[in-house]
Structure 1
Amino acid sequence: MRIPALFIALTLPLHAAPDLILHHGRVITMDEKLSFAEAVAVEEGRIVAVGGNEEVLALKNDQTQLLDLSGKTLMPGLMDSHVHPSSAAMVEFDHEIPTMETIAEVLAYIASRVKVSKPGDLIALRQVFITRLEEKRYPTRAELDAVAPENPVVFSTGPDAMLSSLALKMAGIDRDFALPKDHAGKIEKDPATGEPTGLLRSFSPKLSAKAITQSPKAEDKYRRTRELFRDYNSVGLTTVADRDSSPGQTALYEELRQKGDLTVRMRVSMGIPAMSLWPASENAIEEVINSPLAKADPQLQIIGTKVYLDGGMLTGSSLMSEPWGISEAYGISDPQYRGVQKITPERLKQLVEKVTAAGLQFTAHSVGDGAVKLLVDTYEEVNQRHSVRAARASITHCNFMQPESIAKAAKLGVCIDLQPIWLHMDGRTLTGHFGEDRMAMFQPLRACFDQKVIVGGGSDHMQKIGSFRSVNPYNPWLGMWTAITRKARKLDKPVHIENALTREEALRLYTTNNAYLLKLEKETGSIEKGRLADLILVDRDPLTCPIDDLPQTTVLKTWLGGNVVFEK
């Protein structure tokens, strides 16, 4: 196929030539028209020509590196809109944590930790989601007591946790314990006895006990974070967003950049205290606004702030518009329970106003449709005073969305940071609990794309290095496949296939849409003249390969700004 000459950008000075020409490939540009090409030229980290083999190769000189792609597919580097590198990289620093899919495996792991601990030492297990266990429930307090009678045990899944009897005792929680009236948390109690079941929602008590684990040094954090970023590169990721960062973590990113080890473009949302006294919250926002890292920088930039508006869908505490329903799996006994709201409407308005007025992206962890509605309605009110679209206002997770919220987000230009992988990992349990009708609101990607809401694809990667073994899996090809097929593990039919995306749309989740969401749309996300040369070479064409082969896509080579950061 001969590419028309008009498609190629021949604007190099007469004395210059590209550093690199990639030729004889199938180039998926991901430009607005989804154009295809055969060759790409790169000069000083940027794309200077895209077009046919003959025209692009005519730009070479003796110093130009040539790479024959032999018909393989070249694409823009992929982006993940939501990761947590600090915890993900360090969670197995002390010891490897096995994958657990049954209560028995959970209890066996806890028993193994008891053997290497002393009585009174804390045994903590985090982010083993009950939606992914065969029994689809929390381990009971009695089960924790049985395997660790002399150790306090905390089994936490995001904002919620099951505590053993000893852990409850250390925390001072008994039948008479009550949280302050304005506290968003909830202590579940047995309706028959009034005793705490051990399940705490959006409340983490302080325990005097500590887990006996190795403490990483600064060089350990540096090494493991660098290792994680290189693993991101190995699956095609060239940009990621840390969606709850801290000054210490951003300092690590800056060190990685200075030493030439930052192999992904880092977009950062700083975590800020949402319900502190207002002067403290306001000062935290001011620090973000005034940070040197808040200036536009394609390599490392603070793009905004992050808060937590509700609890977790996987733990039974996301804020829903209708009651959750009584559930043994989630430990819900109150028929009117709708989840947890962590921020008052008045405070949410103050936060959104302050952040977006500064041109920073405000985003809030908003899982349930009740939380999404509250945030979108708040954006609508603030938009009367200044544009939330201009600030790239966002909703994080956004798993359940009412049609009215989608329409309002489209009108306001509100973006969505969504994790398709949750449908694959958790769709079976969620369908079993909520039923077919309510699941029509779950990740309604088709409606969002039809109304031109910008949705970016992420993983919410929390723990472990390894794109399939991680919590949650950060393999973007698996995320794309899920968005296209709507298939969930161990479920025999798709989860509302009418909400599925086309292959092109699924690619846009991880390229052009994320570029816009993460304030990089002028720099990367597509293969076009002037864009940064963030590129990946893959072993198959994701637009035409057998659909069930898509998750096994192998990345052969990854370039960041024209430099190779991964090669298989």
Structure 2
Amino acid sequence: MKLALLFTALASVSLPAAPALILHHGKVVTVDKNFSIAEAVAINADGRIEAVGSNDDVLKLKGQGSQLIDLGGKTLLPGLMDSHVHPGAAMIEFDHEIPTMETIAEVLAYLSERVKVSKPGDLISVRQIFITRLEEKRYPTREELDRIAPNNPVVFSTGPDSMLNSLALKLGGYSRDYKVPAGSAGKMEVDVLGEPTGLLRSLSHNVKAPTSTKSPTAEDTYRRTVELFHDYNSVGLTTVADRDSSLKQCELYQKMLAKGDLTVRMRPSPGIPSMSLWPACEKAIDEVIQHPLTKEDPMLQIIGTKVYLDGGMLTGSSWMLEPWGISEAYGITDAQYRGVQKIPADRLKQLVEKVTDSGLQFTAHSVGDAAVQLLIDTYEAVDAQRPGSVRAARSSVTHCNFMHPDSIAKAAKLGVCIDLQPIWLHMDGRTLTGHFGSERMSRFQPLRACFDQKVIVGGGSDHMQKIGSFRSINPYNPWLGMWTSITRKARKLDQPVHAENALTREEAIRLYTSNNAFLLKSEKNTGSLEPGKLADIILLDRDPLTCPIDDLVQTQVLKTWLGGKLVFEKK
């Protein structure tokens, strides 16, 4: 009788379930606080890490249903994160493929081909061919655009700025008598006779004309976005932040999640119309604050809002502490021109207060050192009234390309995070160095100073066009981003751009893992390989800590797991 009761008692005790998956005999780069290296990882059926350690210790946990994968000495890393993407990039080539353009001749050839397949009067446009990346380092001129398209309006847009041909200027109402709308920070450039050159700075063009390009259906958008996210997985990305998202776009992500098609963890920051009348602006912020997706969720969570404080570094309109300097390439003729400030200081403070009080992350596109300084000074003023609020909300600066040393020190003191794109140094360092000179470029992406002062910097791409990690604008290959942050090498430039600002390999990995996890409010679940965290893991074909540094760019991801589920495997 007693023996039977004992058996009954033992049967009622639920033994711990064996791991669903064990990855063993590898080099497990955990990216924990101490950057520990282990040999094996056990993952439970809920997609979380059960154990990390030696092969012997982890393999002891195996059970009858455990899947075992021998890594053969290969390297595991936490899934990588991109702090700044625009998934609408998936739709840019829906109508037709857009070639890579690196010269004015290639730009004009592409536009000429578009004229051939369009009707007279149709709008011909191209976006985000940055002049810093063209051999001539300039905009195509109004006359050049007229010559290839005398009967079509042409708009060459890059960042917030555009070059228009004569017909586009006429249709948009841009004559010598045009007045920039009150409250706009935009500018229409004119020649010595007062005639428009065609260049509009931070002005949304008003060219009304039909277009012959086809429009995608909702199903097309869904399908191509899924395709893009799978490509993100193929380079090791398991979490991305949609900066300047919309609540409508969030509905798409909700649908993908419900159907099991969302293969990256999504952290949207909806854009806010910062210069609307305050009641409208406040209403837009409230809609974000009250949205159900602001609740903590590891898969899909609205983490904050985004606005635009200045223009573009690649287009000659970022707001700088010192004048840009006269430049034919950027079309700058005013020796005192310092770029474009889009939001006055008093409105910026209103925005920061409103968003920060809600606990959401405020961030602003701030490229130039003047814009960065104003934003961080505004955070300082808000934090003085509400101590600790800026740090608690993970308040951020987006892009942050030029930073005065004082801004770095204040960011460290306040707990301000930075969303930075190392790839810009590689793609644009040559042109920027040629324009600003070596001394001013010492403030360009000062990663070493930020890391030394414990400022949390997350690595992003600002991916905005095309699918393909190297061919995209901007390239979203995180290995290229890591390599750039380590070497500070710019293409077509024979020496690094201030090598003293370089990171170590460990720091470069943190840029795309643990740092981004903190920036994106997901450090409880992701960013490192530790027990209890979600099993977002990538298997690599080489060891990024020891491979020849110039081979790092060619790193291939062999497998990507999201929450223990395989979402990519290299064929």
Shift of 1:212: 1.3
Shift of 1:210: 2.6
Unaligned runs of 5+ in 1: 1-11
Q: Distance in 1 between matches of 2:129 and 2:294?
A: 34
Aligned counterpart in structure 1 of residue 557 of structure 2, from 547, 555, 558: 555
Match of 2:401 in 1: 399
Shift of 1:211: 2.0
Q: Residue by residue, what CA displacement relative to the aligned partner does 1:515-567 show, whole Å, maximum 9, x if unpaired?
A: 00000011110000000000000001101100000000000000000000000
Structure 2 matches for 1:361-380, cutoff 5 A? Answer: 361-380=361-380
Q: Distance in 1 between matches of 2:82 and 2:177?
A: 45
SS at match of 2:538: strand
Q: 1:13 to 1:457 in 2, by over 3 A?
A: farther
Q: Distance in 2 between matches of 1:436 and 1:363?
A: 29
Q: Does 1:57 align with 2:53?
A: no
* RMSD over equivalenced CA pairs, Å: 0.9
Match of 1:538 in 2: 540
Match of 2:31 in 1: 30
Match of 1:273 in 2: 273
Structure 2 letter corresponding to 1:314: L
Q: Distance in 2 between matches of 1:560 and 1:506?
A: 22
Q: Distance in 1 between matches of 2:145 and 2:539?
A: 48
Instruction: Check the 8 A contact 1:307/1:363 in 2, yes or no.
Output: yes
Q: Residue by residue, what CA displacement relative to the aligned partner does 1:404-451 show, whole Å, maximum 9, x if unpaired?
A: 000000000000000000000000000000000000000000000000
Shift of 1:14: 3.1
Shift of 1:180: 2.9
Shift of 1:13: 7.1
Shift of 1:181: 4.2
Q: Distance in 1 between matches of 2:243 and 2:526?
A: 20
Q: Distance in 1 between matches of 2:122 and 2:17?
A: 65
Q: Distance in 1 between matches of 2:212 and 2:457?
A: 42
Q: Distance in 2 between matches of 1:111 and 1:319?
A: 34
Shift of 1:16: 1.2
TM-score by length of structure 2 reads 0.97
Q: Which moved more, 1:199-208 or 1:21-30?
A: 199-208
Q: Does 1:217 align with 2:238?
A: no
SS at match of 1:151: coil
Instruction: Check the 8 A contact 1:320/1:338 in 2, yes or no.
Output: yes
Match of 2:126 in 1: 125
Q: Distance in 1 between matches of 2:212 and 2:349?
A: 42
Q: Distance in 1 between matches of 2:47 and 2:174?
A: 58
Structure 2 matches for 1:155-554, cutoff 5 A? Answer: 155-190=156-191, 192-386=192-386, 387-554=389-556
Q: Distance in 2 between matches of 1:250 and 1:504?
A: 34
Q: Residue by residue, what CA displacement relative to the aligned partner does 1:41-89 show, whole Å, maximum 9, x if unpaired?
A: 0001000100011110110111000000000001100000000002x10
Shift of 1:376: 0.3
Shift of 1:15: 3.5
Instruction: Check the 8 A contact 1:317/1:339 in 2, yes or no.
Output: yes
Q: Distance in 2 between matches of 1:13 and 1:362?
A: 47
SS at match of 1:80: strand
- In the alignment of these two chains, the number of paired residues is 555
Structure 2 letter corresponding to 1:74: L
Q: Residue by residue, what CA displacement relative to the aligned partner does 1:462-490 show, whole Å, maximum 9, x if unpaired?
A: 00000000000000000000000000010
Structure 2 matches for 1:66-77, cutoff 5 A? Answer: 66-77=68-79
Instruction: Check the 8 A contact 1:124/1:211 in 2, yes or no.
Output: no
SS at match of 1:521: coil
Shift of 1:205: 2.5
SS at match of 2:349: helix
Structure 2 letter corresponding to 1:117: S
Match of 1:9 in 2: none
Match of 2:4 in 1: none
Q: Distance in 1 between matches of 2:305 and 2:14?
A: 42
Q: Distance in 2 between matches of 1:459 and 1:156?
A: 19
SS at match of 2:263: coil
SS at match of 2:363: strand
SS at match of 1:384: helix
Match of 2:5 in 1: none
Q: Distance in 1 between matches of 2:208 and 2:508?
A: 47
Q: Does 1:15 align with 2:47?
A: no
Q: Distance in 2 between matches of 1:136 and 1:183?
A: 27
Q: Distance in 1 between matches of 2:503 and 2:170?
A: 50
Q: Which moved more, 1:179-188 or 1:524-533?
A: 179-188
Structure 1 letter corresponding to 2:334: D
Q: Distance in 1 between matches of 2:413 and 2:566?
A: 41
TM-score by length of structure 1 reads 0.97
Structure 1 letter corresponding to 2:298: P
Match of 1:41 in 2: 42
Structure 2 letter corresponding to 1:276: S
Q: Distance in 2 between matches of 1:338 and 1:309?
A: 14
SS at match of 1:18: coil
SS at match of 2:465: coil
Q: Does 1:95 align with 2:96?
A: yes
Structure 2 letter corresponding to 1:25: G
